[in-house]
């Protein structure tokens, strides 16, 4: 994540006299590739600055992981969330007690800008994950419905199946229990993902039935 509205390169500037007080308070820690830097809700309430390498911030649920951000040198994040933080390559971070860090924010306003940029990026990604999870049921129902319609169809020599739905978007939406707008969005996603190809009105080409069956 680039610190979009912050122009400073904090890692480069950190050695300058202006940052002497701040630098003094940081404690450096190093991690090897793939090491867990902090798990969810780490006991110590710390803020950390990535000095070297990249840190992957992600949520782990059941057997799935959702990447929230790839932090780069100069990015700042916190240990006190329900996210995992793990090293991508050899990583060196500079840690500081959160309250101490906050007291420095008045003196160095650029720190706040970095924090806000990182949080904003993670928030955007979180919204995208919520969006994707919310539509999962509808995507599955729509894929199942199209698959059901191919029952009477045979594949050509390349495995391509042609199915004529003969239904409007409104009618399909009614069948899968969604809205015209959502069905249209998901069909476009399927076309973009190569699951479907569209020819004329209401006619779909399906390159791989198995792929369609697994679509979520």
Separation of CA 95 from chain center:
25
Question: Rule CB under 8 A: is residue 7 a binding residue for its own copies?
Answer: no
Q: Which of 7, 43, 131, 157 binds its own copies (CB under 8 A)?
A: 131
Which position among 115, 146, 172, 176 is part of the footprint of its own copies (CB under 8 A)?
115
Note whether 112 binds its own copies by CB under 8 A.
yes
If DSSP codes are grouped into helix, strand and coil, which group holds residue 110?
Answer: helix
**What distance in Å separates the CA atoms of residue 196 and residue 188, rounded to the nearest whole number?**
9
Which tokens go with 175?
């069948």
The only residue of 138, 161, 163, 195 in contact with its own copies, by rule CB under 8 A: 138
Question: Which range touches its own copies (CB under 8 A), out of 28-36, 85-93, 178-186, 189-197?
Answer: 178-186
99 interacts with its own copies by CB under 8 A: yes
C-beta neighbour count of 167 within 10 angstroms: 14
Of 27, 35, 129, 160, which lies in the binding site for its own copies, with binding defined by CB under 8 A? 129
Q: CB 35 → its own copies: shortest distance, Å?
A: 22
d(CA 33, CA 86): 8
Among residues 119, 83, 30, 2, the alpha carbon closest in space to that of 10 is found at 2
């Amino acid at each position: 994540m680039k610190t979009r509205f912050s122009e400073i390169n904090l890692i480069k500037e950190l050695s300058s006299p202006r940052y002497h007080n701040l630098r003094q308070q940081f404690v450096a820690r190093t991690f090897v590739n793939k090491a867990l830097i902090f798990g969810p809700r780490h006991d110590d309430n710390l803020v950390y600055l990535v000095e070297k390498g990249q840190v992957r911030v992600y949520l782990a649920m059941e057997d799935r992981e959702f990447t929230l951000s790839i932090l780069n040198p100069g990015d700042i994040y916190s240990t006190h969330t329900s996210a995992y933080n793990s090293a991508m390559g050899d990583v060196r971070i500079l840690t500081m007690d959160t309250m101490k860090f906050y007291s420095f924010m008045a003196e160095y306003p650029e720190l706040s800008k970095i924090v806000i940029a990182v949080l904003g990026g993670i928030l955007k990604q979180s919204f995208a994950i919520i969006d994707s999870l919310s539509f999962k049921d509808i995507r599955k129902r729509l894929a199942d419905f199209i698959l059901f319609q191919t029952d009477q169809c045979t594949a050509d020599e390349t495995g391509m199946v042609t199915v004529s739905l003969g239904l409007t978007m409104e009618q399909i939406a009614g069948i899968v229990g969604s809205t015209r707008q959502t069905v249209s969005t998901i069909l476009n996603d399927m076309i973009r993902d190569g699951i479907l190809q569209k020819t004329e009105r209401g006619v779909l080409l399906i390159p791989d039935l198995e792929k369609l069956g697994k679509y979520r």
